[in-house]
Structures are given as structure tokens and as C-alpha cells.
Amino acid sequence: MTVLPLSELLSIARPGGLAAFNVIALEHAEAIADAAQAADRPAVLQISENTVRYHGGLKAIGRACLEVAKESPAALAVHLDHATSHELVREAVEVGIRSVMYDGSALDYAANVEATARIARWCHERGVHVEAELGEVGGKDGAHAAGARTDPDEAVAFVAATGVDALAVAVGSSHAMHSRAARLDEELIGRLAAKVPVPLVLHGSSGVPDAGLQAAVRQGMAKINIATRLNIVLAEAVRVALAADPELSDPRRYLGPGRTAVRAEVEHFLRLLTSPHTP
């Protein structure tokens, strides 16, 4: 299937939420595509700036994700996640990625608006979907520091000033959580969804329990980003395989179980978000 625009996937996913999963290795991308096909649900393959740094560049991993998406019969998009420079956004567009997230959350509000608006204009001239982030101003942990919350009126002003297509908001989640103990501010999500004229994005979703994710979608959250949970299940499966055979050296025999574990986790989230009204 042709790689689809992220805006189209958001529509396909309704009334459920669109699940977006971060890719670090090829096994992640293959597992996400297979799970999306099995669940018959749209999904997003995301590549973060940290992953680009890990691979020493975007082209190889970006093109690999695009090829996995093109070869899959599932409805998939490829997205650049948490880019902090125009240079990386430009490289993603040149590679063929049609959706990017510019993260100016470490900047003060005025600087975030200015930088995000400039990048959004550049991307829109090329037909590229733009996600941005707004939460705690100046927090060292970014928009998802503990206790950070996005103000609905400020979010409306930010979207109007920047012209972005989607907005990541701080409502109680936090990146890189290993426990699933985060409690979202559901009332705030509802107020944001009622006021902000673009789809809302939840980052740090790995730390939110299943019921919390379904409640977030019920309240109006449109895109749910998941990364850490996939890495946890992959690592656990690899540990089990290596522990079972201390002589094991063939990566296919330990990364294979890791990929299978990631596929099962992705399919779980895809099915979970299909029916957000299920208690």
C-alpha cells in the first residue's frame, strides 16, 4: 500500500485513537506493520531525533521505514518525532517523510511560536503535516515534566500563531516511564479538545494504563504515541532467549522473539484504541 498522509490515518482511526509507535531498529518497523495488518488498524511508524543520532543519520532508517510501509497492506504513515532543528526536518522531507513533529518545548513561549511557525510555513509549502508541542515553559524535562499542564487558551493562541496541524499537550503523562502509573487529567483533555481546533497528541503514553488511554481518547485525544513499552517487551524477550541458551550468538534467534513480542504489544494497543468506549 502507498504510505498514507497522517491526516488521513487520523480520519480512518476515528472514533478510536491513532496509535503511533517509535522505531529504533528494523525489527520495530516490521513488527508494527505486521500488527497493523493483523488488527486491520492504521498505525504510524515514528523515528525520533534520538534514533537518528543512534543510527548516525536519518536516510537509512527513514528509507527502511518507508519501504516497510510501502510493502505492507496496512494503512501506515511514517513520521519524524521530536525534531529540534530545521535541518533534520528538511532532511526528513527530502527522504520522503510527509509528517514531522517539531519540538520547541524547551524554548520560551515566544521563541517556540516563532520557530514553530517558521517550520510550519516551510513544511506546508511542501505538503507536509506538522505536529508541535506546548506544555511547561522552560522545564528541563520539556513539556512532559512532572506536573506540567498545557493551558487551553494558550494552546488556542499557539495553534493560531503557528498554523500547525496537530498539537502535543501536557496532561499528566511523562516520557520514558517503565511503570504504567501515570494519571491523566481527563477534565483538562476534554477542555483542550473542545477549544483547540487541531488534533491533540499524547506523548509518554507508555506510562499510562490501558483504561487511562481509552479515557484519553474518549475525552478527545486523537494520536497516542508509544515507545518505551515496545523497548521493554523487546528487551525482556531477548533476555529470556539469551538466558535459555548461553551459547546463543545468532541475532535472528534472539531478535526474532523480540520482534514477536513487539508485534504482540503493538497489536494490543491497536485493538485497545479501536474501542475507546469499552470500560
What's the rounded Cα separation, in Å, for the pair 198 and 228?
26
| Active-site option among 81, 103, 165, 185 | 81
Sequence letter at residue 19 = A
Is the distance from CB of 160 to CB of 131 less than 8 angstroms?
no
59-64, Cβ contacts within 8 angstroms, sequence gap of 24 or more: 59/91, 59/95, 61/23, 62/92, 62/95, 62/96, 62/97, 63/95, 63/96, 64/26, 64/29
**Of 263, 167, 265, 175, residue with least CA distance to 222:** 167
> Any catalytic annotation for residue 81?
yes
Can you state the angle between helices 186-195 and 210-219, rounded to 10 degrees?
30
What's the rounded Cα separation, in Å, for the pair 62 and 164?
23
Q: Which helix (H) or strand (E) segment is 209 a member of?
A: none
DSSP 163: -
Residues marked as catalytic: 81
